[in-house]
Amino acid sequence: APHLNFLSLLTGSFATPAAENPTVAMVEAAYRHHGLDARYINCDVAPAALGDAVRGARAMGWAGFNCSLPHKVAVIEHLDGLGESAALIGAVNCVVRRDGRYIGENTDGKGFVAALRSVTDPAGKSIALFGAGGAARAIAVEAALAGAAAITVVNRDAARGEELAALIAERTPARGRFVPWQPGCRVPEGSDIVVNATSIGLFPDVDACPDLDLDSLRPAQLVVDVIPNPPRTRLLREAAARGCRVLDGLGMLVHQGAIGIHYWTGVDPDLAVMRRTLEDIFGATEA
Ligand code: NDP
């Protein structure tokens, strides 16, 4: 008789709110496509219950889980260790069981760099990074570790922007500097890659665009948006109209999910299957 196994590999997500997070659909599409007996359980976990949720995952033998807002920093005290970039970023969005220990990783920045590499090598590039929140920190650290030469942080809140620029300058091989975000500002001179890492343009605010001089964008520049929904943001449309190459936030979302699946199962999932699932959810676009 064939060997029967009714015990699935368990993974999932702890966040609140959780109902609008499409990651479960994307990850389970990959699990099905690869015939993996694995589940991804999307859980709405209140801040006060996070410790219990992590203990529950341990008790049930979960292979790992994603953490999203508001748990990315708070989860660290419940873990057994941190990966290199997660320690630098100071935030965890993906927990991986290794030798029975829960290790915190950050796949947001790794997903960004993986998506970027599908278009260009970040090594030696100058990056203009708009934003200094969690996504921007992850992007800055991973881009710096991937060999970016210089990162100019442009942010509204000066204290946050200066802190991120100092992190880059002092703890990574890249040059880091801060420029206060003046409305209508020009893109910093010499930027090869321009990144929107703010929440501007996220559904339902789809007509919003980062307040910069769009005519200072150059056709040689690559413009990247972290916003996954809608994939074709106003910024990307304006940049494409000015001859720039563009990269949408679905790429980052798909790649960070794929890195998590690789950590949990050892399988490198089919990116197209995952992207198609998200496009069906967010509305198909090409960017
Ligand atoms: P945070 O709240 O940590 O940071 C938000 C950032 O946006 C801050 O720098 C903030 O500036 C800036 N910002 C917001 N509104 C404005 C505005 N009106 N003008 C200028 N700056 C503004 O959020 P996260 O970094 O966690 O997330 C940012 C976005 O990234 C989200 O929309 C999320 O969807 C997306 N994201 C996408 C991922 C993907 O895989 N594609 C992964 C992770 C996030 P200030 O500091 O001045 O307040």
The Cα–Cα gap between 128 and 210 comes to 13
213 and 229 share a domain?
yes
Ligand 1 centre to CA of 258 (Å) is 22
Question: b/e for 216-242, b at 16 or more Cβ within 10 A?
Answer: bbeeebbbbbbbbbbbbbbbbebbeee
Among candidate residues 72, 78, 137, 232, the one labeled active-site is 72
- pLDDT(284) > 70: no
- pLDDT(2) > 90: no
101 and 130 share a domain?
no
Q: What is the mean pLDDT of the chain?
A: 96
List pLDDT tens digits, range 220-268.
999 999 999 999 999 999 999 999 999 999 999 999 999 999 999 999 9
Give me the number of domains the chain comprises. Answer: 2
Instruction: Give the phi and the psi of residue 121 in degrees, each rounded to 5.
Output: -85, 120
Ligand 1 centre to CA of 286 (Å) is 23
Q: In testing the pocket of ligand 1, which one of 67, 141, 199, 250 has its CB within 8 Å of the most ligand atoms?
A: 199
Tell me what pLDDT residue 287 has. Answer: 43
Has 125 been annotated as catalytic? Answer: no
In percent, how much of the chain has pLDDT > 90? 95
| CATH code, 183 | 3.40.50.720
Ligand 1 centre to CA of 143 (Å) is 17
Is 1 within a domain? no
184 and 240 share a domain?
yes
Tell me what pLDDT residue 82 has. Answer: 98
The Cα–Cα gap between 187 and 220 comes to 13
Question: ipTM beyond 0.95?
Answer: yes
88 and 203 share a domain?
no
List pLDDT tens digits, range 176-233.
999 999 999 999 999 999 999 999 999 999 999 999 999 999 999 999 999 999 999 9
| CATH code, 39 | 3.40.50.10860
Q: How confident is the model at residue 282 (pLDDT cuts 50, 70, 90)?
A: confident
Is 139 within a domain? yes
- State which residues form the domain around 115: 110-247
